[in-house]
Chains A and B, each alone.
Chain A
Amino acid sequence: MYPIVKKRKLADKIFLMDVKAPRVARSCLPGQFVIVKMDEEGERIPLTICDYDQEAGTVTIVFQIVGASTQRMETLEEGDVFQDFVGPLGCASELTETPVEELKQKKIVFIAGGVGTAPVYPQVKWLHEQGVSCDVIMGSKTKDLLILEEEMRAVAGNLHVTTDDGSYGFHGMGTNQLEELVQNGNTYDLCIAIGPMIMMKFVCLLTKKLEIPTIVSLNPTMVDGTGMCGACRVTVGDQVKFACVDGPEFDGHLVDFDQAMKRQQMYKTEEGRSMLKLTEGDTHHGGCGHCGGDR
């Protein structure tokens, strides 16, 4: 069992939890992820690691309520436990394997979209600890949905905040902000973009044009997260890769985003059905075809 030692609401439907998992905390590096399962009936959900504390033996996760399982997860409070919490999974960010001197020569820009700010944070923090300064663009739909701004400001070289509706910071998307920065004479050797699949796709279209090598962190459907099922397979270049073991980070200019987005939709109706069942509870006899209520 893995106790929740801290829970914090970051924004509407977005939560942070520190979970005690010493084996995971001891080995994890930026870029990796965990899989959590809240109880016997729960499903295995992949979540990126937002932070970790080796001494306290804790790992920080951030999740957004998007379906029945994450909604159920929100009911967990400090002192409650996750039945299962496994990791670190996936490959660490390539940055962690690059010599620091080399990193210091590079101009790196991160683009974080929405909850994607959570997995960007440990990478920026890690670079900061190595004495490497980088630019960070973090964006959300609106001011209320911004997360981890203070934390990010403490470790980023230059932080650019954007909102789609202009309610705070730069009015526009991360891609618009990057274009402006480049127009203003900034040059970048590497871009790392993490966020919704559609956002990463558009970042890659732009950086291809700008000729900035780009790394993305993919978030396909996963089951085991250890390479035994292929649910998370994606096409990168002309090769089929399993995101859970070969990734989750890949060369964004080689990823087949359209295919990846279609595959993400695979369980959409199933997810909708279980969400409906949860929200309507005993009153749910709507004939969704899943619960037998229509039979």
Chain B
Amino acid sequence: MDVWKKVPVREQEPQVRATNFEEVCLGYNKEEAMEEAERCLNCKNAQCVKGCPVAIDIPGFVGQIKEGRFEEAYQTISKSSALPAVCGRVCPQESQCEGKCVRGVKGEPVSIGKLERFTADWARENNIKPQPATEKKDHKVAVIGSGPAGLTCAGDLAKMGYDVTIFEALHEPGGVLIYGIPEFRLPKNDVVAKEIENVKSLGVKIETNVVIGKAGTIDELMEEEGFEAVFIGSGAGLPRFMGIPGEQANGVFSANEFLTRNNLMKAFKEEYDTPIMKGKKVAVVGGGNVAMDAARTALRLGAEVHVVYRRSEAELPARVEEVHHAKEEGIIFDLLTNPVEILVDDNGWVRGMTCIRMELGEPDESGRRSPVEIPGSEFDLDLDTVIMSLGTSPNPLISSTTKGLDVNRRKCIVAEEENGATSKPGVFAGGDAVTGAATVILAMGAGKAAAKGIDEYLSGK
């Protein structure tokens, strides 16, 4: 065994997986996990824990894996995280826990994400559940949104004994875990649904199909339905468009629409009713994780796919692993390229896109090199589908229907970082609704902080 390198993880072959929606990464088995756990140096002042937004006792659970005590490892993780099978799969570990691992100074860091995933998968396969509260508290708390922030906040509050109800606008709970992140990165029935079952087994109630702000307001929940505190974890689901000519043509989609059709509505499956445009030649505009997800989804539906991004590879905001997987599968990267117009045929359909080449200018005050157009470098791409993946912002529905809730100029809810408290007493918020689009684990961290904040608020009442 080479202690400087991670125990490799088994994956589906690129040529095979490019044609299916099965999970790409197959994860560690027991032997592989125990071997990888051996690489952990069990640091006294563990830096990895500081890199984890929910501060999981990493040396603790990795040590338990080392000795084959998987159930204990699961309970160790569960103290800090409600969704380990999710986080082990989708966290950007390279910039979090693994980015801080001392093993990474000279070699490769310990594969903490894959070990977390192994533990959660093992627990699920062996029907191990997190432990519910033994004492109930006589306080009702409402959670708006069932994404990572809401699920974490609800799970933590239920463990403390609170009576928690989650209100979800869509027909299935999970937020971006269900509608955004594709099946091949995060299996829905086997992983997400089971992890949500675990949160429910703690006593959390989930009401789907309730759009707070339309079917009742937060004020009504507090004044009429007896909820003493509310956590807003409604995310940032409002898609941005570029505002270029041709953007309303048939065949132009937001990544949210494209992914929702495919992931939530399962349009890729024959027996489901929701249609999806399969496209022969698709451009995805943007370079984040959502762009990678959209591109790899379009590829699996049978298209030739281009990722069009205005900066260079080094600036791609997507996870390194996702970019690597996308390239292996045959996604074409058109870097330093920016769309200027979508070309439309006589029937209103996309027929192509005019792009312009970019170069990186001098670093600005923040040290970031902004892309600058190269005059006269316009060229056309032939396309039938364009997917805009330019980021999202918070939906104003909740903030505009709740009295006394402050938002900033980006329409994000203003909340304290350490306890999630907003300008309105009893109302807390966290996740993308506060920060704008960020990561699953940061939303979970915010949900956790708010659960603590709500407990302090209700205990002091």
Contact A227 B237 (CB under 8 A): yes
Interchain nearest-CB distance for A33 vs B (Å): 11
Interface size bracket, A side:
35 or more
A223/B257 contact (C-beta < 8 A), A23-B215, A84-B208, A233-B248 known: yes
Is the C-beta of A229 less than 8 angstroms from some C-beta in chain B?
yes
Contact B216 A240 (CB under 8 A): no
Contact A266 B239 (CB under 8 A): no
Please, which residue of chain A has its CB at the minimum distance from the CB of B395? A227
Is the C-beta of B261 less than 8 angstroms from some C-beta in chain A?
yes
**Which residues of chain A (1-36) have a CB below 8 Å from chain B?**
23-24, 26-27, 32
Residues of A within 8 A of B251 (CB): 266
Is the C-beta of A196 less than 8 angstroms from some C-beta in chain B?
no
Is the C-beta of A250 less than 8 angstroms from some C-beta in chain B?
no
Is the C-beta of B214 less than 8 angstroms from some C-beta in chain A?
yes
* Segment at the B interface, from A40-48, A49-57, A146-154, A208-216: A40-48
Pick from B210, B256, B270, B275: contact of A270, CB below 8 A.
Answer: B275
CB-CB contacts of A206-250 with B at 8 A, as 1s and 0s?
Answer: 000000000000000001101111110111000010000100000
Contact B271 A228 (CB under 8 A): no
CB-CB contacts of A83-99 with B at 8 A, as 1s and 0s?
Answer: 11111110000000000
Is the C-beta of B410 less than 8 angstroms from some C-beta in chain A?
no
Contact B238 A265 (CB under 8 A): no
Interchain nearest-CB distance for A146 vs B (Å): 30
Contact B395 A226 (CB under 8 A): yes
Interchain nearest-CB distance for B277 vs A (Å): 7
Interchain nearest-CB distance for A181 vs B (Å): 35
- In angstroms, Cα B275 to Cα A68, docked, is 11
Pick from A32, A43, A233, A259: contact of B348, CB below 8 A.
Answer: A259
Is the C-beta of A37 less than 8 angstroms from some C-beta in chain B?
yes
Is the C-beta of A198 less than 8 angstroms from some C-beta in chain B?
no
Contact A223 B265 (CB under 8 A): yes
Is the C-beta of A274 less than 8 angstroms from some C-beta in chain B?
yes
Is the C-beta of A69 less than 8 angstroms from some C-beta in chain B?
yes
Is the C-beta of A295 less than 8 angstroms from some C-beta in chain B?
no
Contact A88 B214 (CB under 8 A): yes
Interchain nearest-CB distance for B290 vs A (Å): 12
Interface centre among B169, B239, B273 (most CB of A within 10 A): B273
Is the C-beta of A141 less than 8 angstroms from some C-beta in chain B?
no
Please, which residue of chain B has its CB at the minimum distance from the CB of A86? B209
Is the C-beta of A291 less than 8 angstroms from some C-beta in chain B?
yes
Contact A228 B237 (CB under 8 A): yes
Number of residue pairs A-B, CB distance < 8 angstroms: 117
Residues of A within 8 A of B395 (CB): 226-228, 245
- In angstroms, Cα B241 to Cα A42, docked, is 29
Residues of A within 8 A of B214 (CB): 27, 32, 87-89
Interchain nearest-CB distance for B355 vs A (Å): 21
- In angstroms, Cα B259 to Cα A230, docked, is 12
Interface of B is mostly: loop
Contact A267 B216 (CB under 8 A): no
Contact A226 B241 (CB under 8 A): no
Contact B248 A263 (CB under 8 A): yes
Residues of B within 8 A of A229 (CB): 239, 254, 256-257, 260
Is the C-beta of A251 less than 8 angstroms from some C-beta in chain B?
no
- In angstroms, Cα B209 to Cα A72, docked, is 21
Contact B348 A263 (CB under 8 A): yes
Contact B260 A228 (CB under 8 A): yes
Is the C-beta of B211 less than 8 angstroms from some C-beta in chain A?
yes
Residues of B within 8 A of A235 (CB): 248
Is the C-beta of A74 less than 8 angstroms from some C-beta in chain B?
no
Please, which residue of chain B has its CB at the minimum distance from the CB of A226? B169
Contact A240 B248 (CB under 8 A): yes
Is the C-beta of B250 less than 8 angstroms from some C-beta in chain A?
yes
Please, which residue of chain B has its CB at the minimum distance from the CB of A265? B250
Is the C-beta of B461 less than 8 angstroms from some C-beta in chain A?
no
Is the C-beta of B397 less than 8 angstroms from some C-beta in chain A?
yes
Is the C-beta of B347 less than 8 angstroms from some C-beta in chain A?
yes
Is the C-beta of A281 less than 8 angstroms from some C-beta in chain B?
no
Is the C-beta of A271 less than 8 angstroms from some C-beta in chain B?
yes
Residues of A within 8 A of B270 (CB): 291-292
Residues of A within 8 A of B347 (CB): 262
Contact A226 B397 (CB under 8 A): yes
Is the C-beta of B171 less than 8 angstroms from some C-beta in chain A?
yes
Contact B260 A89 (CB under 8 A): no
Residues of A within 8 A of B266 (CB): 41
**Which residues of chain B (205-238) have a CB below 8 Å from chain A?**
208-211, 214-216, 237-238
- In angstroms, Cα B271 to Cα A291, docked, is 9
A-B contact pairs, 9 of them (CB 8 A): A43-B273, A84-B209, A228-B238, A228-B260, A229-B254, A229-B260, A231-B257, A259-B348, A262-B250
Would you list the 3 A-B pairs with minimal beta carbon distance, nearest first?
A270-B275, A262-B348, A229-B257
Identify 16 new A-B residue pairs, CB closer than 8 A, beyond the known A231-B254, A235-B248.
A23-B210, A37-B171, A43-B265, A68-B273, A69-B273, A72-B273, A87-B211, A224-B169, A226-B169, A227-B238, A227-B397, A228-B238, A229-B256, A259-B248, A263-B248, A267-B277
Which B residues lie at the A interface, using CB under 8 A?
Answer: 169-171, 208-211, 214-216, 237-239, 241, 243, 247-248, 250-251, 253-254, 256-257, 260-261, 265-266, 270-277, 347-348, 392, 395, 397
